[in-house]
Amino acid sequence: MSNQLYINEIQSLFDDVQRSEIFEDQKMMTDAVPLFPIAKINEDYEKSKKTEGFNLKDFVMTHFDFLGARVSVHREEQLPIGEHIEKLWDELTRTAYEEKGTLLKLPKPYIVPGGRFNEFFYWDSYFIMLGLQVSGRIEMMENIIENCSYLILNVGFVPNASRTHFLSRSQPPYFSLMLDLLFETTHNEGIYTQYHETLEKEYAFWMNGEEWLENGSSVKRVVKTKDGDILNRYYDAENAPRPESYLIDIEDHETTSGDEFYRNIRSACESGWDFSSRWFADGENIQTIETLNLAQVDLNCLLWHLEMTLAKSSALQNLSDKENYFSERAASRRQMINKYFWDRNTNNYKDYHTKKNTKTPSEHIAALYPLFLGIADQEQAEAVAKAIAEKFLYKGGLVTTTKNSGQQWDLPNAWAPYQWLGFKAMKNYGFDELAEKIKNNWCSNVERVYKNTGKLMEKYNALDTETIAGGGEYPNQDGFGWTNGVYLQLQQN
């Protein structure tokens, strides 16, 4: 099924449903499964919408299935948090052996995040795997890797999530890190050679168009700086409102003049950070979003890891030309990470503005990636650790930025992935005391909210631990895949 085909086929009805706000959450309609052939639904709609007393919601409810649109967990009694998570793994497990509506088929069972997120998500799945490792659920870890590989080999990349309207973007490329995690669990080096073709294909996706670039230009996810260096950026192939946030995007677009506003919005979604002051030219308003003008430190670190993994899988197969090629690419990228993302003025890692040829002002937690992956030197690590301790660590965990904009990927919210990245980053460089503090502050926040609500949440308020986190386009969700995974892994360490 091509990109957005199903939604395009019901475009008139879809547009009317989203604009009329008959559902509180715009994702409801994107996840709906048609009960009749699309042609019949369109015909019925064109006929009946002009009749007296027509009710749009009634029409939609009789022509689509909304079963499984939400994942909610209700317990009669509150279990200890560890037991609750063990039960959640089964409750969050799904299969999709055939396409239904917008849902893509996948060959293996998988774990969904929870709440409104009832499909396979790419970078979430890595953090879910951290918990599966602790739970001894090796088969499900292998399933996740197999699903990612299937998508890369058949689609060319792992979409943001396993729905047709996400076929224009990916998410942070964690596949090579997933292989590391499985290797750490099984000590089977064969997984690197088993998935060598998959690794190569994902790399080709991120580097697509590189050979056509002139200095100071960009294409898709690749940027060539004015000095002729290659970096990467987040990107989305579509420049249209997101179906899952359709009306929000249209309304935001009305107050901006940017002709690539929608693509900038979607490109931020590829980063997983939807949304943050990190992407805004004025640091305040989503109307000034300029994701496309930035090369991001996290993405380039993850692609360095992918290059290193490709060098490793090539060496295991005695493919010396490929080993040399990917080793050289990794070595070059490591230099570029230092050249373009290390800010000597603030002693921290920043994103790079490719149009202004300067570091961006936003202070954000993605500065952890060079430490998480061991790219930073000790002096750089000490400076980052100091910034983390002074500006990012609160009593409820690590916040993502130092700015409170009302966006969900800004202060005061603490997200599970960055608690793990922070803990590991500090451990890597010997800052054990700070690592423990990150772990304890966030885990105690998770435990407190669980005690009060019986739920594990998508995100947490790091400043006011009496309050559930907010901000963003939808309410805080419970479930919750990556929180479960990171909590279990931190408790184990």
Residues that are catalytic: 274, 458
Tokens of residue 8, six digits: 């395009």
Q: How far apart are CA 197 and CA 199, in angstroms?
A: 5
Q: Is-contact 457 476, C-beta < 8 A?
A: yes
CA distance 355 to 290: 11
Going by C-alpha positions, the residue among 213, 62, 126, 146 that lies closest to residue 416 is: 126
Round to whole Å and give the CA distance between 383 and 393.
Answer: 15
Cα angle: 355, vertex 361, 367; to 5 degrees? 100
Between CA 190 and CA 316 the distance in angstroms is 9
Q: How many CB atoms lie within 10 A of CB 335?
A: 10
The token pair that represents 148 in the structure block: 């990612």
How far are the Cα atoms of 279, 332, 382 from residue 412, in angstroms, in the given order? 17, 36, 24
What does the alpha-carbon distance between residue 10 and residue 16 come to, in Å, rounded to a whole number? 10
Q: Determine what percent of the chain falls in helix, strand and coil, rounding each to the nearest 5.
A: 55, 10, 35
What CA–CA distances, in Å, run from 161 to 202, 217, 272?
16, 29, 11
Question: Please, are residues 412 and 464 in contact by the beta-carbon 8 Å criterion?
Answer: yes
Cα–Cα distance, 387 to 377 (Å, whole number): 16
3-class secondary-structure state, position 159: coil
Look at residue 220 and give its three-state secondary structure. Answer: coil
> First CA to last CA across the chain, in angstroms?
43
- 211 Cβ neighbours under 8 A, 6+ residues apart: none
The identity of residue 54, as a single letter, is F
Is residue 477 within 8 A of residue 92, CB to CB? The reply is no
433 CB-near residues (< 8 Å, 6+ apart): none
Q: Measured between alpha carbons, how far is 453 from 477 in angstroms, rounded to an integer? A: 12
Number of helices (H), then strands (E), belonging to the chain: the values are: 20, 16
Distance CA 113, CA 95 (A): 14
